[in-house]
């Protein structure tokens, strides 16, 4: 601060503080003079808050010298030495609070990794420095030669030195140092430093391949955009195996050349050493952020990024909040993945936040997928995103042929059929005999997916949820896959007391058993969240599979994406219909995406490959068009359906879930709340509001009871997000839920359960 700018003595600073509470309104506090040097926007503070002035942590989001009319309480403490939140992140999180209709403090709390808030991963180092001669008293006690040597050594230094280093350099023990400390000739300096991270080891540099014709064309367009910075959004639509990653790598290299940084978002499951190696092979300093890291590790990476020591941040959803200094590019791989949506407050979608961040920082963003989300596709059609296409696989590899196996015909003569049809079994034998490997997708874990009594129709359900229990054979228990409730297996029907209980439906555990019986001399590995519990198990299995130590890999969607195994010559889908009949308008899209992605694992090497898809509904467009690798036609047909039914991307949706342990309380409030929305809508129509809002519901949620809560939901729709927000704000400010009722507001919802 310049001398001229020093405020008059009576002037004070006032800080706007937000809290991790569902109140979206900053509170003004005064900054005591002694805290003026420490306070800054983007730091956390402790203040008295609420009833009883409880000491509460908040975020400082603004400073001002304008004295408020009302009396203010003082800030008690500034918690951070460094600014945690850059101006860009503050703007981005403010937008998120507005868009997702939650409080700024809630967003900030969610965005800052716990390891940064707690300074985890930092340790305090005790260093030594000599006290300058001017500060020393006139009379100095006599020193031994060793003590003199230490003081002289420290005087020569320009900065504090770690005491162990002092001992080493002066060949002394701790004794003389302690004496000097007590005589007041040297002093301790405490410094917070990052703990050392395990270094990833040196990676050999990989020379870039020669680009295919398609890649070269896409790269030319992208390179031009990177050379002329500014916001621009690209949708990279490239079929599986078309070499999208190579395009990302070129873009990253260009950004690094310009001295800027890149953020790469990938689905959590893709954060395998294989993927990371591909990035490490082409750039020097990478920070990898994923959920299995400790708070401390994430804290260290965050601070390295904030210090400008990182060129590329690779991570799942939350990596979009990396505190880069000179961000030059955002990349999102598999942009259609639903794991980019967070299912707790703030319920943000990382792709949408990324696009906003690119806008705010005025930089390009590239979203890539073989099966783009229809929201993104429609944005490209409308000209909001520029489409880049890789319609062919690299090295002239063909797309694998996909054969649909119609289970209605296959299983007719075989009533005790397992999960594998005769056709699939035959193809598996052929593929294995020819030295190929096989991948099998079954998107259901456990042994039997439901337990039922055919005599009376009883189904074993969870005690807390309206969901069937899954039987896990190895653990000998029936489990609710939502809340974890467990019950002992039964053989006697609790309803009709007959011994007719059946364990039905195929999960991966049962499939594993069947394959082992049918292929006793082959090595079979199951990959799902039940078998992949230990850290690193995922990588170990994929390594073994890559090295040919596993013949048949079966698993849930975990095995469906991103994997590049040239020796996989057969991919089998056990039941393509698993996700098709869910009460979710995206079920066809998700089925298409899953099938297209898993089919894309086949035929990525010189041996070629094929795909067998077992289904009861081969005529469903989500299945038949995936079999033809025809994304364009699927998008066209599905978008037409969405338009007819007024679903996204043509309409914005807000979903409101009302839940209570008391059914009547939830039902009553759901009716009141949806009624308030209808009333607001009626008034706005009367006032001639041009853009309509539709209220659908309330109704019982598809899973009516979940975790012991009764759930009702309704939807509010509008073609305009602004109008949607306006209505919700209007209604929500006047409606208060009773104490025993909770509600969840989900903007652009993905989960419809
Ligand atoms: N120009 C090229 N020349 C030779 N090989 C290439 C080239 N580009 C990419 N590849 C290789 O082709 C394989 C597939 O590429 P990549 O994994 O990038 O495809 P992708 O489009 O990301 O596929 P998916 O969507 O299925 O994950 C990789 O093994 C990659 O190393
Ligand atoms: Zn349950």
pLDDT, tens only, 326-339: 999 999 999 999 99
Ligand 1 in reach of 246 Cβ (< 6 A): yes
pLDDT at residue number 3 = 47
Ligand 1 in reach of 597 Cβ (< 6 A): no
- 366 and 245 in one domain? yes
Domain harbouring 582, CATH code: 3.40.50.300
- 426 and 560 in one domain? yes
Ligand 1 in reach of 241 Cβ (< 6 A): yes
Q: 698 C-alpha vs ligand 2 centroid, how far in Å? A: 23
Quick check: is 444 in a domain?
yes
3-state secondary structure 23-86: CCCCEEEEECHHHCCCCCCCCEEEEEECHHHEEEEEEEEEEECCCCCCCCEECCEECCCCCCCC
Complex ipTM value: 0.97
The pLDDT of 625-640, averaged and rounded, is 97
Q: Tokens in use for 285?
A: 């300093």
Task: Say which DSSP state 559 is in.
Answer: G
Is 480 annotated as contributing to ligand binding?
Answer: yes
Q: 482 C-alpha vs ligand 2 centroid, how far in Å? A: 5
Domain harbouring 14, CATH code: 3.40.1440.60
Tell me the CA distances in angstroms from 304 to 7, 114, 242, 257, one per residue in order: 36, 15, 34, 20
- 734 and 671 in one domain? yes
Lowest mean pLDDT among 135-139, 272-276, 295-299, 566-570: 135-139
**Rounded distance, CA 196 to CA 517, Å?**
49
Is the bond into 698 cis (omega within 30 degrees of 0)?
yes
Q: Residue 658 pLDDT more than 80?
A: yes
pLDDT at residue number 201 = 54
- 247 and 322 in one domain? yes
Would you say 270 and 562 are in contact if contact means Cβ atoms under 8 Å apart? yes
**Rounded distance, CA 355 to CA 591, Å?**
26
pLDDT at residue number 415 = 54
pLDDT at residue number 7 = 46
Ligand 1 nearest atom to the CA of residue 562, by list position: 27
Lowest mean pLDDT among 148-152, 348-352, 415-419, 652-656: 415-419
Sort 710 into a burial class: Cβ within 10 Å, 0-12 / 13-18 / 19+. buried
The pLDDT of 352-357, averaged and rounded, is 98
**Rounded distance, CA 545 to CA 563, Å?**
11
Is 60 annotated as contributing to ligand binding?
Answer: no
Q: 102 C-alpha vs ligand 2 centroid, how far in Å? A: 28
Measured by CA distance, the residue closest to atom 16 of ligand 1 is: 243
Measured by CA distance, the residue closest to atom 15 of ligand 1 is: 243
Ligand 1 in reach of 106 Cβ (< 6 A): no
Q: 614 C-alpha vs ligand 2 centroid, how far in Å? A: 30
Last residue of one domain, picked from the residues 146, 166, 194: 194
pLDDT, tens only, 10-37: 448 999 999 999 887 899 999 999 999 9
Q: 561 C-alpha vs ligand 1 centroid, how far in Å? A: 13
Ligand 1 nearest atom to the CA of residue 333, by list position: 22
Residues with Cβ within 8 Å of 130's Cβ and at least 6 positions away in sequence, in order, are 151, 154, 155, 157, 185, 186
The pLDDT of 116-134, averaged and rounded, is 73
Is 102 annotated as contributing to ligand binding?
Answer: no
- 420 and 371 in one domain? no
- 419 and 353 in one domain? no
- 128 and 107 in one domain? no
Helix (H, G, I), strand (E, B) or coil at 338: helix
Q: Which residues of 97-124 are buried (b: 16+ CB within 10 A; e: fewer)?
A: bebbbbbbbbbbbbbbbebbbebbbbee
Choice from 243, 269, 274, 389 to test ligand 1 binding pocket (greatest atom count within 8 A of CB): 243
pLDDT, tens only, 308-318: 899 999 999 99
Of all residues in the chain, the percent with pLDDT exceeding 90 is: 66
**Rounded distance, CA 32 to CA 29, Å?**
9
Q: 463 C-alpha vs ligand 2 centroid, how far in Å? A: 6
Q: 240 C-alpha vs ligand 1 centroid, how far in Å? A: 8
Q: Residue 702 pLDDT more than 70?
A: yes
Last residue of one domain, picked from the residues 61, 91, 117: 117
Last residue of one domain, picked from the residues 117, 143, 176: 117
* pTM for the structure as a whole: 0.87
pLDDT at residue number 156 = 86
The pLDDT of 132-138, averaged and rounded, is 75
Is the bond into 374 cis (omega within 30 degrees of 0)?
no
pLDDT, tens only, 517-558: 999 999 999 999 899 888 788 888 999 999 999 999 999 988
Residue matched to tokens 């309480």? 73
Q: Residue 753 pLDDT more than 90?
A: no
Q: 39 C-alpha vs ligand 2 centroid, how far in Å? A: 47
pLDDT at residue number 196 = 55
Q: How confident is the model at residue 84 (pLDDT cuts 50, 70, 90)?
A: confident
- 130 and 90 in one domain? no
The distance in angstroms from the start CA to the end CA of the chain is 55
Domain range holding 133?
Answer: 122-194
Q: How confident is the model at residue 194 (pLDDT cuts 50, 70, 90)?
A: low
Choice from 251, 333, 563, 564 to test ligand 1 binding pocket (greatest atom count within 8 A of CB): 564
Domain harbouring 707, CATH code: 3.30.70.600
Number of domains in the chain: 5
Domain harbouring 136, CATH code: 1.10.10.10
Lowest mean pLDDT among 79-93, 272-286, 646-660: 272-286
Lowest mean pLDDT among 4-13, 148-157, 202-211, 700-709: 4-13
Would you say 749 and 651 are in contact if contact means Cβ atoms under 8 Å apart? no
Ligand 1 in reach of 209 Cβ (< 6 A): yes
Quick check: is 166 in a domain?
yes
Would you say 506 and 424 are in contact if contact means Cβ atoms under 8 Å apart? no
**Rounded distance, CA 389 to CA 238, Å?**
6
> Could you give the angle at which helices 163-170 and 174-183 cross, rounded to 10 degrees?
120
pLDDT at residue number 198 = 52
**Rounded distance, CA 665 to CA 668, Å?**
5
Q: 395 C-alpha vs ligand 1 centroid, how far in Å? A: 9
pLDDT, tens only, 248-296: 999 999 999 999 999 999 998 777 777 888 888 888 889 988 877 888 8
Measured by CA distance, the residue closest to atom 30 of ligand 1 is: 243
Quick check: is 470 in a domain?
no
Ligand 1 in reach of 372 Cβ (< 6 A): no
Ligand 1 in reach of 600 Cβ (< 6 A): yes
Would you say 68 and 14 are in contact if contact means Cβ atoms under 8 Å apart? yes
Q: Residue 202 pLDDT more than 80?
A: no
Quick check: is 342 in a domain?
yes
pLDDT at residue number 8 = 40
Q: How much of the chain is in helix, strand and coil states, percent to nearest 5?
A: 35, 25, 40
pLDDT, tens only, 575-631: 999 888 888 999 999 999 999 999 999 999 999 999 999 999 999 999 999 999 999
Is 283 annotated as contributing to ligand binding?
Answer: no
- 410 and 388 in one domain? no
Tell me the CA distances in angstroms from 440 to 12, 400, 434, 564, one per residue in order: 68, 15, 17, 15
Measured by CA distance, the residue closest to atom 1 of ligand 1 is: 211
Quick check: is 607 in a domain?
yes
Query: In terms of pLDDT, which residue wins out, 342 or 141?
Result: 342
- 88 and 155 in one domain? no
**Rounded distance, CA 250 to CA 53, Å?**
55
Identify the H or E element spanning 227: helix 213-227
pLDDT at residue number 270 = 75
Q: Pseudo-torsion of CA 719, 721, 726, 727, nearest 10°? A: 50
Ligand 1 in reach of 345 Cβ (< 6 A): no
Is 493 annotated as contributing to ligand binding?
Answer: yes
**Of 197, 46, 195, 47, the residue nearest 119 (C-alpha):** 195
Point out the ligand nearest to the CA of residue 275. Answer: 1
Choice from 394, 396, 560 to test ligand 1 binding pocket (greatest atom count within 8 A of CB): 394
Point out the ligand nearest to the CA of residue 215. Answer: 1
Residues with Cβ within 8 Å of 473's Cβ and at least 6 positions away in sequence, in order, are 447, 448, 509, 510, 513
Query: In terms of pLDDT, which residue wins out, 64 or 415?
Result: 64
- 304 and 381 in one domain? yes
Point out the ligand nearest to the CA of residue 487. Answer: 2
Ligand 1 nearest atom to the CA of residue 600, by list position: 26
CA 24 to chain centre: 24
Q: Tokens in use for 132?
A: 């300058």
Average pLDDT, the chain: 90
Q: How confident is the model at residue 297 (pLDDT cuts 50, 70, 90)?
A: confident
**Rounded distance, CA 442 to CA 508, Å?**
6
Is 483 annotated as contributing to ligand binding?
Answer: yes
Quick check: is 458 in a domain?
no
Quick check: is 497 in a domain?
no
Q: 275 C-alpha vs ligand 2 centroid, how far in Å? A: 35
Point out the ligand nearest to the CA of residue 631. Answer: 1
- 579 and 524 in one domain? yes
Quick check: is 339 in a domain?
yes
């Amino acid at each position: 601060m310049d001398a001229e700018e020093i405020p008059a003595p009576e002037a004070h600073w006032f800080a706007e503080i937000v809290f991790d509470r569902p109140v979206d309104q900053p509170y003004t506090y005064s900054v005591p003079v002694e805290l003026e040097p420490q306070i800054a926007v983007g730091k956390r503070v402790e203040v008295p808050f609420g009833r009883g002035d409880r000491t509460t942590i908040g975020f400082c989001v603004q400073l001002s010298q304008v004295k408020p009319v009302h009396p203010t309480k003082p800030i008690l403490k500034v918690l951070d030495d460094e600014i945690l939140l850059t101006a860009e992140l503050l703007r981005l999180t403010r937008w998120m609070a507005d868009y997702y209709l939650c409080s700024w403090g809630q967003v900030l709390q969610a965005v800052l990794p716990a390891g940064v808030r707690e300074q985890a991963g930092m340790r305090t180092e005790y260093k030594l420095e000599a006290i300058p001669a001017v500060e020393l008293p006139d009379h100095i006690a006599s020193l031994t030669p060793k003590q003199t040597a230490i003081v002289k050594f420290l005087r020569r230094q320009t900065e504090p030195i770690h005491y162990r280093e002092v001992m080493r350099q002066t060949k002394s023990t701790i004794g003389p140092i302690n004496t000097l400390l007590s005589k007041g000739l040297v002093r301790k300096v405490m410094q917070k430093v990052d703990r050392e991270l395990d270094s990833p080891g040196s990676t050999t540099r990989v020379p870039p391949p020669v680009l295919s014709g398609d890649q070269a064309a896409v790269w030319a367009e992208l390179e031009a955009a990177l050379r002329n910075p500014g916001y621009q959004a690209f949708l990279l639509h490239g079929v599986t195996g078309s070499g999208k990653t190579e395009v990302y790598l070129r873009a990253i290299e260009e950004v690094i050349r310009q001295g800027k940084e890149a953020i790469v978002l990938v689905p959590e499951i893709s954060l395998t050493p294989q993927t990371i190696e591909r990035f490490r092979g082409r750039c020097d300093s990478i920070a990898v952020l994923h959920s299995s890291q400790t708070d401390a590790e994430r804290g260290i990476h965050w601070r390295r990024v904030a210090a400008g020591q990182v060129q590329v941040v690779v991570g799942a959803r939350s990596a979009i909040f990396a505190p880069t200094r000179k961000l030059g590019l955002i990349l999102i791989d598999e942009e259609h993945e639903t794991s980019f949506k967070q299912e707790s407050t703030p319920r943000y979608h990382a792709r949408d936040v990324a696009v906003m961040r690119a806008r705010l920082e005025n930089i390009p963003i590239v979203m890539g997928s073989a099966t783009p989300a229809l929201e993104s596709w429609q944005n490209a059609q409308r000209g909001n995103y520029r489409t880049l296409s890789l319609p062919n696989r690299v090295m002239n590899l063909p797309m694998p042929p996909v054969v649909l196996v119609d289970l209605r015909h296959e299983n007719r003569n075989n009533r005790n059929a397992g999960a594998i049809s005769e056709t699939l079994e035959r193809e598996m034998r052929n593929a294995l005999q020819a030295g190929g490997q096989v991948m099998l997708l079954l998107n259901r874990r456990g042994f039997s997916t439901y337990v039922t009594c055919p005599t009376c129709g009883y189904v074993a359900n969870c005690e807390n949820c309206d969901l069937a229990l899954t039987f896990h054979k190895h653990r000998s228990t029936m489990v609710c896959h939502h809340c974890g409730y467990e019950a002992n297996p039964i053989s006697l029907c609790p309803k009709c007391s007959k011994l007719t209980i059946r364990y039905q439906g195929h999960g991966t555990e049962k499939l594993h058993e069947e394959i082992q019986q049918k292929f006793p001399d082959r090595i079979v590995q199951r990959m799902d969240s039940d078998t992949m519990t230990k850290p690193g198990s995922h990588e170990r299995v994929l390594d073994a599979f890559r090295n040919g130590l596993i013949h048949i890999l079966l698993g849930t969607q975990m095995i469906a994406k991103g994997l590049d195994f040239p020796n996989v010559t057969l991919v089998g889908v056990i039941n393509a219909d698993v996700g098709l009949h869910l009460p979710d308008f995206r079920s066809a899209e998700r089925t298409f995406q899953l099938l297209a992605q898993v089919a894309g694992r086949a035929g990525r090497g010189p041996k070629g490959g094929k795909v067998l898809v077992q289904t009861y509904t081969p005529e469903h467009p989500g299945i038949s068009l995936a079999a033809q690798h025809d994304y364009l036609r699927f998008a066209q047909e599905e978008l037409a359906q969405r338009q007819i039914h007024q679903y996204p991307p043509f309409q914005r949706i807000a979903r409101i879930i009302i839940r209570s342990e008391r059914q009547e309380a939830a039902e009553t409030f759901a009716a009141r709340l949806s009624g308030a929305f209808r009333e607001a809508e009626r008034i706005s129509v009367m006032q001639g509001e041009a853009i309509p809002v539709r209220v659908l519901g309330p109704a019982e949620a598809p899973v009516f009871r979940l975790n012991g809560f009764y759930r009702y939901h309704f939807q509010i729709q509008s073609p305009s997000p602004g109008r949607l927000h306006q209505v919700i704000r209007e209604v929500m400010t006047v409606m208060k839920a009773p104490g025993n009722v909770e509600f969840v507001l989900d903007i652009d919802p993905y989960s419809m359960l």
